[in-house]
Structure 1
């Protein structure tokens, strides 16, 4: 499908970028997350794999902190990432349905997702199941926007998302909440955390259910529509325990489990000659993810800090009807990382990482592969100049060796204004499904390779901050679904298959900022994207040319009220154009006691008709009301 107006899109990107670079103060009403709401400089890990002040980062990083997560009123991890980090979200229906995520226009499986340092997700699909995660178990989220294979290896073509679960500190604290909403929706959570006598501990459990709506629209051309309601049940639990035998040394273990049981619409098909569809069975996606981890971090000398982590993750899925097909993937990861302080403002990072993956399923034989990675990174501060360089070598048993890297720098023109530049290479190895899935996979699929460059500027003064980033990412052999309408590319009997696009270009601009005025907070994220197949000139499907999110909140300390608007532009899909839409979410809280607050929200308050993917539908207006307790007070 040809782009409707690629020149117009590029002109819009250029105009937006020029405006941001010349007139940054005008962006004071725009924001990503709440990073400007504190006078302290937040610390992030994702940009260098070691703690670093966010203001010194060369990369484009978004921090979504605990307060932002708590007060956002968002219904899911996907919505938080869309609103505050600019990800475009694809979902096969409403909450609980399979969700995809596009960071800077790359495919869902072209972004690395981690929890507490461990890669998560299915090794067959190559993506994380955000629909199985609960916001209640998350302490903060860090998002690195832009290719990062030089630090994180395969799949970091679009960037990296790292989720951190809660860790205990200080006296015992207990938090809990319950809420009810339309579509027979209910949720409850309970958590405790603290530290004493060298031990720190944290545990949480949450449960959410909803009856939802039919995930498919009536009269869909695939014959999947079933008028029943497609609801879900989700249970999430985490536990972390740490021991500090001496200052600068900590030993920790953690475990988490997420269980999802979600109904969805599909069909079983009869034989020739009619191949009639039967959508009446109760199709369900039963997904269980488990992660167990042990780690040690110690300061061995004033210049040497070492980290060792061993993790085991399971992604166990049973989907379909009446006899669901099982797929189970296992990921075992071991990391040894060393940070060497060459000088007070210079650091050398050396790390080794081994990742072993295994996939079991009734339609494929047991598949195994492993990857060994050797990582070197350097960060340095020289007055107003910051430098960062990364180099990584991956050796895969499945697709050979790749060397990737990045080089970046920033320069502080004034105390408030900083400019930065970053260039790098990336790659993504094909998933097990890309290679071997029956009637889809092809064993000649090549890994993706990318080359990127980005320029950015950051401005911060008091309670106001803003930034602008322009980027260009050239990807070779982009792995996509090939519908093969002419029947020339896929093997006989395939209804489409995995394929490589020779060259694709992903370019765009992101404008962000933050402003606080008295009790008022303003927040937004504006993204322009031009993603196309260079060989045909067609826009890549399901990518919106623009997406904006704006939030306004007013907080007196006793009560607060806020609103968010997210606008998604038109998107091409395989079967036709998807119309743009805007979502209005409203929220309010009342702190009627220091430890208690009443919460209310209305999602999609304008009751817009949402078609996130062709033939699928999201929820209409949904009101929630609940109460939350925090022993330490809000």
Structure 2
């Protein structure tokens, strides 16, 4: 829906789009989904990066961290990256239709712009829209994902108020691997992928290529509130290529190159208001054509046992062409330089120093001129352990050429009570930067817009046995200076261009919730469950924030017997408001899957998504797919 804000040129079209954009103000909530046992409680000895910027065992981190590994991705019934994340990591989804449509994810009651996304350490997304196009990223390129739920600005800067999603693309691990996947489903769905990795001497290489397409259904329902419905099918086509190349110069020193390119062509319903009569016209074939590329070159070195340094130079480009007869273009280019050093004071204490230099440039067919901003940041992070107590502290100072200086921090700790139980607590500050549209979009953007600011606290307990794990996290997040659409003309600049309203820092919000999760492995059975409860309000008015479900529940059961694997997953999303007078109904979907490994390297897989044919309405007037059957074949070669 945020694309709707970027798309129209005529003021009337913008006025129609803005009520929908309101829901993005602080947006969604931390919810849930099918967390695997591994996702419900991460193995304390698993090495992770996102929670501290450096590889450390997960058991030392005070934050609420979720890991989705390659096996979970392959076994999941998720139809897209955004669906996988909401099922496995406690996010709520809003999407303008089915897979391939514009999608946003929200963590812990924060808006779609408050979920920071990194790919192999590189910040991605559109600085014009202020969010990431999850629909442009393919599952076929992903090795694993780490999700830090809760404030991440003190480590990664702007837009990490809700949390951080870091995607790690396919990489070599010393083994020779090759995989292929081909599948077809209803609604004209096709997908295929190839991946390979290996190592020759000091050189390691991994890569993947994937393509998927969907004819779909009409994104909108008939009689939508803005009259944009068109009965044609709104489908999508997406192609992704990714590669990683590494040279191990000497032991402990590696030069790495990571590249990715994605192309998305997706249809949607909208309207144009063109001269000379500016009458509404919903007949054109509206499309989003998104090209996204990034490249990162890094050098990582271990200097004895006490020092580790990392240098990374990266560039990322997000180029969106959107419209029907008249095409609007929004282009973001980021150039980033990172320098980081970690000192092991002793075996259990680490101190990390880091510098980030980021330049963001944007151009648009709607902007008067190209725009640019520079950001320089210094980061200091401490991770320590004394006996059963781990401590963590981060401090970051950002100096931005447009919105000024922002300082954020986190302080937390974890206590290992025994071999089973761990207690953790964390408090932190965060911020979301105004997007270039918030600042410069004609008739909406206001150059003086300031960042949203947030304060978060959380408490958690984790228990882990040999075959069973549980986790509970209670959290609260308060946000001020929300960046929202202001309809009161008197609060906007005097220019007549703002007669329909403007962007403004208005209001305060409080988001609080509880997440319960658990997994149980018994014989051939693997049972998983997550329950999220959310209370998200505008504290100035007392009204619930748009598109936040008060609860989201997820249950899954998988059974493996020899060469066969059967699975079922249920996802229930509670009712939620979408506008001042509209309520999205509660939804419960059931997915079924079956896998038969009929040969050592071959498997046949089938799944039935939305088996009960639930009427899915992800946002007001939009519709998801009904019941959809898939069948596919997979080949996997793995050799030492």
Is TM > 0.5 for Structure 1 vs Structure 2?
A: yes
1:277 aligned onto 2:283:
no
Matched pairs, number? 605
The equivalent position to 2:331 in structure 1, one of 328, 333, 344, is 328
After superposition, give the CA deviation of every residue in 1:450-505 in whole Å (9 maximum; x if it has no partner). Answer: 111111111111121111111111111122334x2x54444545544323232111
> Is the contact between residue 61 and residue 413 of structure 2 (CA under 8 Å) also seen in structure 1?
no
**Normalised by the size of structure 2, how large is the TM-score?**
0.92
> Is the contact between residue 44 and residue 60 of structure 2 (CA under 8 Å) also seen in structure 1?
no
The equivalent position to 1:524 in structure 2, one of 511, 526, 529, is 529
Please name the residue that 1:18 is paired with: none
Instruction: Report the CA distance between 1:171 and its aligned residue.
Output: 3.7
> Is the contact between residue 30 and residue 522 of structure 1 (CA under 8 Å) also seen in structure 2?
no
Please name the residue that 1:19 is paired with: none
Instruction: Report the CA distance between 1:195 and its aligned residue.
Output: 1.1
> Is the contact between residue 301 and residue 309 of structure 2 (CA under 8 Å) also seen in structure 1?
yes
1:349 aligned onto 2:337:
no
Distance 2:407 2:307 in 1: 26
Task: Label 1:397 to 1:56 Cα distance change in 2 as closer, same or farther (>3 A).
Answer: same
Distance 1:38 1:338 in 2: 26
The equivalent position to 1:617 in structure 2, one of 616, 623, 636, is 623
Please name the residue that 2:589 is paired with: 583
Instruction: Report the CA distance between 1:341 and its aligned residue.
Output: 0.3
> Is the contact between residue 502 and residue 535 of structure 1 (CA under 8 Å) also seen in structure 2?
yes
Distance 1:436 1:324 in 2: 19
3-state secondary structure, aligned to 1:542: coil
Distance 1:151 1:34 in 2: 24
The equivalent position to 1:175 in structure 2, one of 163, 174, 179, is 179
1:418 aligned onto 2:427:
no
The equivalent position to 2:222 in structure 1, one of 218, 224, 229, is 218
- Which runs of 4 or more aligned residues in structure 1 lie more than 6 Å from their structure 2 counterparts after TM superposition? 36-40
Please name the residue that 1:562 is paired with: 567
> Is the contact between residue 36 and residue 515 of structure 1 (CA under 8 Å) also seen in structure 2?
no
Alignment of 1:131-280 (within 5 A): 131-269=135-273, 276-280=279-283
What's the C-alpha RMSD, in Å, of the aligned pairs? 1.9
Distance 1:153 1:457 in 2: 27
1:128 aligned onto 2:132:
yes
Please name the residue that 1:452 is paired with: 456
Distance 2:597 2:629 in 1: 19
Instruction: Report the CA distance between 1:301 and its aligned residue.
Output: 2.2
Instruction: Report the CA distance between 1:506 and its aligned residue.
Output: 0.9
Task: Label 1:269 to 1:61 Cα distance change in 2 as closer, same or farther (>3 A).
Answer: same
3-state secondary structure, aligned to 2:199: strand
Task: Label 1:120 to 1:509 Cα distance change in 2 as closer, same or farther (>3 A).
Answer: same
3-state secondary structure, aligned to 1:226: coil
Distance 1:270 1:324 in 2: 12
The equivalent position to 1:394 in structure 2, one of 398, 402, 412, is 398
Distance 1:571 1:171 in 2: 47
3-state secondary structure, aligned to 1:560: strand
3-state secondary structure, aligned to 2:167: strand
Distance 2:284 2:377 in 1: 45
> Is the contact between residue 36 and residue 463 of structure 1 (CA under 8 Å) also seen in structure 2?
no
The equivalent position to 1:88 in structure 2, one of 70, 92, 102, is 92
Please name the residue that 2:66 is paired with: 62
Task: Label 1:207 to 1:611 Cα distance change in 2 as closer, same or farther (>3 A).
Answer: same
> Is the contact between residue 528 and residue 547 of structure 1 (CA under 8 Å) also seen in structure 2?
yes
The equivalent position to 1:109 in structure 2, one of 95, 107, 113, is 113
Q: Which sections of structure 2, spanning at least 5 residues, go unmatched? A: 1-18, 20-29
> Is the contact between residue 382 and residue 392 of structure 2 (CA under 8 Å) also seen in structure 1?
yes
3-state secondary structure, aligned to 1:509: strand
